[in-house]
Structure 1
Amino acid sequence: MLGAARRSGCVLGQLMQTLRPAASAATAARSYSATPKEMTVREALNSALDEEMSADPSVFLMGEEVGEYQGAYKITKGLLDKYGPDRVLDTPITEAGFTGIGVGAAYQGLRPVVEFMTFNFSMQAIDHIINSAAKSNYMSAGQISVPIVFRGPNGAAAGVGAQHSQCYAAWYAHVPGLKVLTPYSAEDARGLLKAAIRDPDPVVFLENELLYGESFPIKAEVLDSSFSVPIGKAKIEREGKDVTITAFSKMVGYALQAAEILSKEGISAEVINLRSIRPLDRAAINASVRKTNRLVTVEEGFPQHGVGAEICMSVVEDSFEYLDAPVERIAGADVPMPYAANLERLAVPQVEDIVRAAKRACYRSS
């Protein structure tokens, strides 16, 4: 398997080497005539890809419908026209095949960005992601670097059922050799994707389909082509003193809504946007818990062996003596995702679930 991936990558690597001189003449990254006040997550991801491809000819995209169709969710819109079919590669419907080729290309010093139409489909390619990509640097004693990004929508979508609506953050965060990132805002999406593409290690980049069209305030410095968000650093989205709420991806928005409701009841909640699941910012989480003395974790994934379970254990290990209440864990229901909208809502954490958990932690349950 490893040899096959290497051989495939060598062929693609040789091909790409011949294309690099032409690719280096790619037009400069887009410039904005005026600083926008808002940016959608889709625009943030697209601009990050555009700028990194312009800055580094070794960066290329591959996946199903990333070129002619401009991406199933239009994340790669306009990139085929700008960079051509040699750097924006439409692939057959064979995740195992094109992921293996991507890993082989990374062995040869290129920087592939591999898109999965949904991370549920990455299960077809998990052998290459883990056995070919994640373990190679360690098994080669540092001689083989695998600078590759696996990206696409992850977690619950809307009305697409069990085979398209699962969170894989805990799955991939379990594996040494991988970095796992989960953006929430446009700033996260733009900065983390840039950092992922520049990173020398394989990165699993978990987006959320329902966030693609959501707009967020954007600062001028975020639009600078050199901007990136450091991997492994959480962000305090809202400061508080009574209870810490950790969340990632779409659940950060829910946590912020819950914090606003709690504030009207006299509870000051601190909301931490994890951004990076592996490495996990244990220092930021524990520092917050030592201030608030309470913890609520929120995730869409299944509860057993989940991200929340790891966070809770981190706090037990490092800050147990600071806790004034049992930790609270909010997760998706322990069932495959239903199709029906009413059942789907019951299977995914809601704002009111977070509010109730925070009130329990503060001993203010109604």
Structure 2
Amino acid sequence: MNQQNPYPWPGASATGVGSWPGEDPGEAMRTVLGELPDLPHLPELPERGVGADMVGRTGGLLPEFPIEVQPSGWRVADSPGRDLGRAASLMSYDLDALTEHAHGFTGTLKVQVAGPWTLAASIELRGGQRLVADPGACRDLAESHLEGVLAHLAEVRKRVPGARIIVQVDEPSLPSVLLGSLPTASGLSRLPAVDPVRIEASLRVLFSAIAESGAVPAAHCCAPGVPVDLLRRSGARALSLNALLLTRDHDEMVGTAVEAGVGLLLGVVPSTDDGTPAQTARMSDPAATVDPVRELWNRLGFSPDLLSRAVVTTPTCGLAGASPGHARAALTASRDGARVLRDEPRR
């Protein structure tokens, strides 16, 4: 970073949210590096099954907090078993692919981990209730999560020693945790909302530790009702949001974040192919792709010159559900859209 560009990425950058179709980490890494040279990310391949999914992938990083797969999903276990062993092996394959294809990379690299509150909303206690319902279990999970994330970050640094790292903490379940909309084990009622003060305090500890390690803490939430203010106050230096879900109600929160120097990773390209001519036409028109970003920027009233430095363009969410062809096209459209924000900030 420098005074001309205080953000941890070059101007007019594009990146992916995280997940990618297919099962070959080497091919995925090559594709991402080729399509997103300014801000590549470590791709996640959930099609590989148990342990490659969002919860299992991060669950494999948790020291002294074993989980296992049950018919209802991931659940706290007495000791590590084959599910966590598989998660660790799959992560090792991904890191080996990173080493092979990006060892000499010297730019900014993004890695993703599931956040502690999304894990707490997704993992069950032994009795079948969601872990988020137990404050003590949430504290234990947060402590293990922090230790595991920092160890993972250290391992990534060994593999790509010249890179600057952004750690994107994925919290898609955070709005549900805050609203108290998660169902109980029986499905007959809802779990109580968690105090926002508790959530903010725990995320502040995590983001602070990531920053102290020399990495850039970021937060991703592509769900409606994303708590922009809470994530900013917690110390996230970049926010990954679905631009197509942002309304005028978000303007003040997003504007405050930009004023505070927080970068924005804004999803503008559909993450799945609906097969319609309208979507195909829009994706082939970079200016139309980034119109929602430019409209937001005009409402906020910031300098057009800041737009391509503060904003990174992305797909609206992960690309695991897309065809390989659409996934590539989505990265191309994101990259082309970023260049439009630089070259044609206003229409």
Give the TM-score, by structure 2 length.
0.29
Higher relative contact order (CA 8 A, sep 6+): 2
Query: Which of these two proteins has the greater Rg computed from alpha carbons?
Result: 1
Give the TM-score, by structure 1 length.
0.27
Q: Which has the higher helix share?
A: 2
